[in-house]
Every structure is written in structure tokens, then in C-alpha cells.
Amino acid sequence: MTELSPEIITQPGSGPAASTWKRFLLDILETLVLSVVLFLAINAVSARVRVDGFSMLPTLHNGEFVLVNRLAYRFGQSERGDIIVFRFPVNPKEDLIKRVIGLPGEEIAISDGHVYVNGALLVEGYIAASPKYVGNWSVPEDHLFVLGDNRNDSSDSHSWGLVPLENVAGKAVLVYWPFDNWMLIKHDQLVLAAP
């Protein structure tokens, strides 16, 4: 009596080689999904902005890349001295970066090369030069008055008006490029001298 052993018939696409390819494709798919999730999460809490122009000299320089904290004002409020990124009220497709000078409900005056908030002199050691312009502004609720640190070469609230709080994208926190310029951005707590 002879025994017959059953033949093992392999289906095309099965076996060790097919299993390796399936695992490889699954790994690629998992990596892509994880990358998309991380990208969306990082963009939900931060933004990257390029400084264009010289309006924030000497603090920020043309061509630097800045990391922006999008959550900074969801859990807190703007403070005088914060450097913020916001949608330009005149052209909302454009982002600008400036320093907060006036808060909601305050009166801002610029004269004799100085900035005054509610009649008190604003002490500013970070500006490129004293402003050569004059003016008075009342900051309504839900708005900010912003100026560039390079006061005489900056398009800011003194020339086009106030920034609605809803336009604020976040607080600038770090210069990350070029690498030689890497620094945490200092947000001066600005001092008001007695009137």
C-alpha cells in the first residue's frame, strides 16, 4: 500500500515574500498617518513666521524665522511688551509682527519722541530710535495698539490703526533660523514712569 502525500499548492501572492511586502506597506501607511497627525497637532499649537523687513530692529532681523505660540492668548491675555503675530487689518491675507504697546481701554499719546500710556511715560530701552511722529489714540475694547521697535521705519498702529484681538495669531517665542541667531524672544515687561 502506498501513501499519497497531499501536495501543498501555494497561491500567488502568499508566502514569506508577500508577507514581507504587506508588512512593509503597512509600516509605510502607519508612518504617513502618524506624520499627518503630528503635523496637524503641531500646527494647531504653533506657527512658523518669516520676518520680512526692518520694522522690528534691533530685536528681530529681516529673514529670521520665528516660532509662534498659538495658544498663548487662549489661556491668558496680551501684555504690554509682548511681540505678537497677527493678520494685518488692512489686508487679512498678510501676517505682521509687532510689539504690544496699548491695551484695551488705554489712551496712547506720542509726542516729543516719547510714548505715553494714560499720561505715563513708557520706558523703552529696546527701540532703534525715538519716534519722529506725533498722535493720540484711544484703544477700544477687544483691540490692541502695536508698534514696531524700529519706530521710524515701521508700518504699525500709528499709521493704519488698531489690531482687533480676533486677528492675533499668537505670541512670538523663539528665533530658530538662521541657527546663529537662535534665541528666546524677550518680551519686555514695559515700565510706565509716573505721570
pLDDT digit of tens for each residue in the chain (195 aa)?
555 555 555 555 555 677 888 888 888 888 888 877 777 666 666 677 888 999 999 999 999 999 999 888 888 889 999 999 999 999 999 999 999 999 999 999 999 999 999 999 999 888 989 999 999 999 999 999 999 999 999 999 999 999 999 999 999 999 999 888 888 887 766 666 655
pLDDT in tens, 173-184: 999 998 888 888
55 is annotated as an active-site residue: yes
The mean of the pLDDT values for the chain is 86
How many CB atoms neighbour CB 55 within 10 A? 23
CATH classification (class only), 47-192: mainly beta
pLDDT in tens, 15-42: 567 788 888 888 888 888 887 777 766 6
How many CB atoms neighbour CB 183 within 10 A? 11
Question: Which segments within 1-124 are labelled E, that is strand?
Answer: 46-50, 65-69, 83-87, 95-102, 107-111, 114-117, 120-123
Inter-residue contact 129 to 151 (CB < 8 Å): yes
Among all chains, which residue has been given the C-alpha cell 489686508? 91
98 is annotated as an active-site residue: yes
Percent helix, strand, coil in the chain, to 5, is 20, 30, 45
Which candidate, 86, 120, 119, 121, places its Cα nearest to that of 100?
86
DSSP summary character for residue 64: -
Pull the grid cell for residue 132: 519722529
Question: Burial of 64 by CB count in 10 Å (0-12 exposed, 13-18 middle, 19+ buried)?
Answer: buried
Selected catalytic residue, list 19, 35, 46, 55 = 55
Selected catalytic residue, list 98, 154, 157, 171 = 98
How many CB atoms neighbour CB 143 within 10 A? 22
Q: Where are the domains of the chain?
A: 47-192
